[in-house]
Structure 1
């Protein structure tokens, strides 16, 4: 099963990180990433820039575009990992090992798989074909 670990921080956590040695933060994350890789569970992971981005709001037609990311930290996520584990409990154990401090949270969500959808749907069948063409089991669309 695939899980997405979504890193979230409060204003307090961001402020506290300013007093920490950045090299130590990078080293701790690097060690965590290395352990995920060595265990064979890491599929993807990235940090996200907090300074750049935009929001597309579909409340109106056409959608409204505004500068982003969100202004409130509670709505902001700053990075993610996608891991593949045998069980939900194994995903939980990996999440608990993440080197985040007080004020940070790691939201864990199962990634939908092809088998979760009606296999008779035209676009589910096309998705399977696209994946085969690309030689991947990754989704080609969100």
Structure 2
């Protein structure tokens, strides 16, 4: 089962106010954690994302398109980074997230979302048709 594991943004990550010392410690701890994931054969991809002050959103309304420049204000809805893991089930994914170092200097949240797999889509199509 493949899952995407989202590290949610915080005010500090969006404003880039973490101290260099804290960043160095967090990157070292996260590097060790990523090594453990790699050794376990779970890690497929891991990336951090730049703050939304450097991003854009494209809104769709019929054939119309609207471009909005960041930063975006609802920090709790933003993503600061992600992993793609291949785990046996959600319980295994949760167990790994519980071992993860806190990726932020303040309270934070990590979300786990499964990918649709082709077999899932075929089963859904068969159930409808």
Higher relative contact order, chain-length normalized (CA < 8 Å, sep 6+): 2
2:47: which partner in 1?
46
What is the CA distance between 1:14 and its match in structure 2? 6.5
Matching of residue 107 in structure 1 with residue 96 in structure 2: no
Deviations 1:78-125 (A, max 9, x none): 000010111211111111111115421000011111111137x8xxxx
Residue 88 (structure 1) aligned with residue 83 (structure 2):
no
Q: How many residues align?
A: 120
State the match for 1:138 in structure 2: none
Are the counterparts in 1 of residues 56 and 67 from structure 2 also a CA contact under 8 Å?
yes
CA RMSD after TM alignment = 2.4
Q: Does 1:7 align with 2:11?
A: no
Q: Which runs of 5+ in 2 are unaligned?
A: none
Picking from 50, 65, 77, the partner of 1:63 is 65
Unaligned runs of 5+ in 1: 122-142
Pair 66,60 (structure 1): closer, same or farther in 2 beyond 3 Å: farther
When the two structures are superposed, what TM-score results if normalisation uses the length of structure 1?
0.73
Q: Does the CA-based 8 Å contact 1:55-1:69 persist in structure 2?
A: no
